[in-house]
Amino acid sequence: MIALTLAELAVAAPGELHLEGTDATPETVVSGAVTTDSREVSAGGVFVAKRGEFDDGHRFAPAAAEQGAALLVVERPLDVPVPQLVVADSVDALGAIAAEVVRRVRSHGQLRIVGVTGSNGKTTTKNLLRTVLERVGPTVAARASFNNEVGAPITMLELTDETRFLVAEMGASAVGEIARLIRLAKPDIGIVLKVGLAHAGGFGGIEQTVRAKSEMVTELLATDVAVLNADDPRVVSMADLTAARVVWFGLGESADVRAVDVVAHSRGTEFTVVLRGGEHARVRFGVLGEHHVMNALAAIAASVELGVALPAIVEALESVSLAERWRMQLMGGRDDVTIINDAYNASPDSMAAALKTLAQVKAPGGRTIAVLGEMSELGEFSGEEHDRIALLAVRLGVSQLVVVGKGARRLHITAINEGSWDGESAYVETADEAFDLLVSSIQPGDTVLVKSSNSAGLRHLGDRLGEWFS
């Protein structure tokens, strides 16, 4: 965090300073890292005691003090000999401090902010943008999927006076959450990737999902840029909601940044990117999965708007071989067995894209095995969407389906009820059972996809399989 006095912090996040029993004064400067995890506190840092669903961060304040915290942001005074800022809501205070840091850094005139949202692809697009922009100047982007009311402000607090680019991943599970993040750091460029059924249960339906994702562009100014997916009708409708100049990306000829001659293979995806003015380049993209081309196009569009030359963008993209751990991560190799671990998260769209990739990249003569777990947070759409994925697996000719966990059992039932399968689908309740089944049945040359929502925990199964066949 940039250097701020305790008094300045108390103004940014209105609260009472408690300095009793310490050597601090209101003019004491704090400039360490900010965290809500006491295990990550470093000397001179700030610990925000957040109340959670299952625990209360105030319990860990003494541990944060022992780690060298210079300030505790708390909702009640604690008997800990460290300066404390007592606020009404620690999460609101975290956001307020982040907003003040963004304001101060931005006042220097060089900081540009890119916001990224969408039902799928946020983390991949954020990582691609970071790879491009950090070659141009100091860049801050979220770790992993730090995209909510806690993670996004913590990312913003990593800004320094030298930062040129902030890539803010902005997720949501309810209407109003993206708007809240934008009030902390309004983007100069707002990207909307796709609107699908991810978290639809929490939103209360697809219409509410569209409304929530639209918050990315409704607050943009006429001097800002909205980078929108020309191939998604729900995203296209957002053009009427923004004052910003719209830049379209997609596969169709109407897009300002489009991809042609797309070729997917087991080493990634190749495509030619064509800009509106005719400039073009071949991209040998090492990230597995044709669906990631759209994420690359969004990153290209935003980078061009930030003044990065196309050859430099392509060079940066071609240096990326993995979007993020547990996202289309290639593992294995022994006996020509390929494990694709894509079990960090799952929605109907990303599940379908992963299955299509599995069918595209299988080894000649080899089998395809799909190890699938539950797609969570779909609400009333859960049953029909698991049915749809089961039918897609059958129609793509997946050689073997292994369904894991009670939440995904309907997927197994629908697959075997399709009638064309006899024994090609197996159901187990645990990842351990799935592991035992797979290591005894995987054959040389097989390509195996592991895919589920994070809550199903199959990413660790993917890791185990990758290590077994390494």
Domains of the chain listed by start with CATH number: 4-92 (3.40.1390.10), 108-317 (3.40.1190.10), 329-468 (3.90.190.20)
Residue in the block written with tokens 């998260």: 345
Cα–Cα distance measured from residue 214 to residue 204, given in angstroms and rounded to the nearest whole number: 16
Report how far Cα 331 is from the mean position of its chain's Cα atoms. 21
CB 264 within 8 A of CB 362: no
Q: Would you list the DSSP string of 224-269?
A: SEEEEETT-HHHHGGGGG-SSEEEEEESSTT-SEEEEEEEEETTEE
CB 168 within 8 A of CB 114: yes
Output the six-digit token pair for 322.
């993995």
Rounded to 5°, the CA angle 401-403-409 comes to 130
pLDDT above 60 for 33: yes
- Backbone angles phi and psi of 448, in degrees to 5: -120, 125
Identify the band that residue 324 occupies on the pLDDT scale cut at 50, 70 and 90.
confident
Q: Is the dihedral of CA 352, 125, 171, 30 positive or negative?
A: positive
pTM of the prediction? 0.88
Output the known binding site for ATP: 118-124
CB 388 within 8 A of CB 372: no
Beta carbons within 8 Å of 152's beta carbon, 6+ residues apart: 98, 142, 146, 168, 169, 170, 181, 184, 185
Question: 152-156 long-range contacts, Cβ below 8 Å, gap at least 24?
Answer: 152/98, 152/181, 152/184, 152/185, 153/94, 153/95, 153/97, 153/98, 153/184, 154/34, 154/35, 154/36, 154/94, 154/98, 156/98, 156/99, 156/101, 156/102, 156/184, 156/185
What pLDDT score was predicted for residue 194? 93
Cα–Cα distance measured from residue 355 to residue 345, given in angstroms and rounded to the nearest whole number: 14
CA-based nearest residue to 127, from 292, 2, 284, 308:
292
What Rg, from alpha-carbon coordinates, does the chain have? 24
pLDDT digits (tens, 9 = 90+) for 278-308: 999 999 999 988 889 999 999 999 999 999 9
Identify the band that residue 457 occupies on the pLDDT scale cut at 50, 70 and 90.
confident
Pairing of strands 268-275, 280-285: antiparallel
Residue in the block written with tokens 């003090």: 65
Output the known binding site: 118-124
Identify the band that residue 327 occupies on the pLDDT scale cut at 50, 70 and 90.
confident
Q: What is the mean pLDDT of residues 444-470?
A: 94
CA distances (Å), origin 287, targets 154, 251, 270, 344: 28, 18, 10, 16
Rounded to 5°, the CA angle 12-32-28 comes to 60
pLDDT above 90 for 199: no
What pLDDT score was predicted for residue 264? 87
Q: Which residue type occupies 7?
A: A
pLDDT above 90 for 197: no
Beta carbons within 8 Å of 288's beta carbon, 6+ residues apart: 266, 267, 268, 269, 328, 330, 340, 357, 361
pLDDT digits (tens, 9 = 90+) for 355-390: 999 999 998 889 999 999 999 888 888 999 999 999
The full length of the chain comes to 470
Q: What is the mean pLDDT of residues 96-102?
A: 98
Q: What is the mean pLDDT of residues 239-265?
A: 96
- Backbone angles phi and psi of 12, in degrees to 5: -60, -45
Cα–Cα distance measured from residue 283 to residue 329, given in angstroms and rounded to the nearest whole number: 20
Identify the band that residue 172 occupies on the pLDDT scale cut at 50, 70 and 90.
confident
Output the six-digit token pair for 231.
């191939």
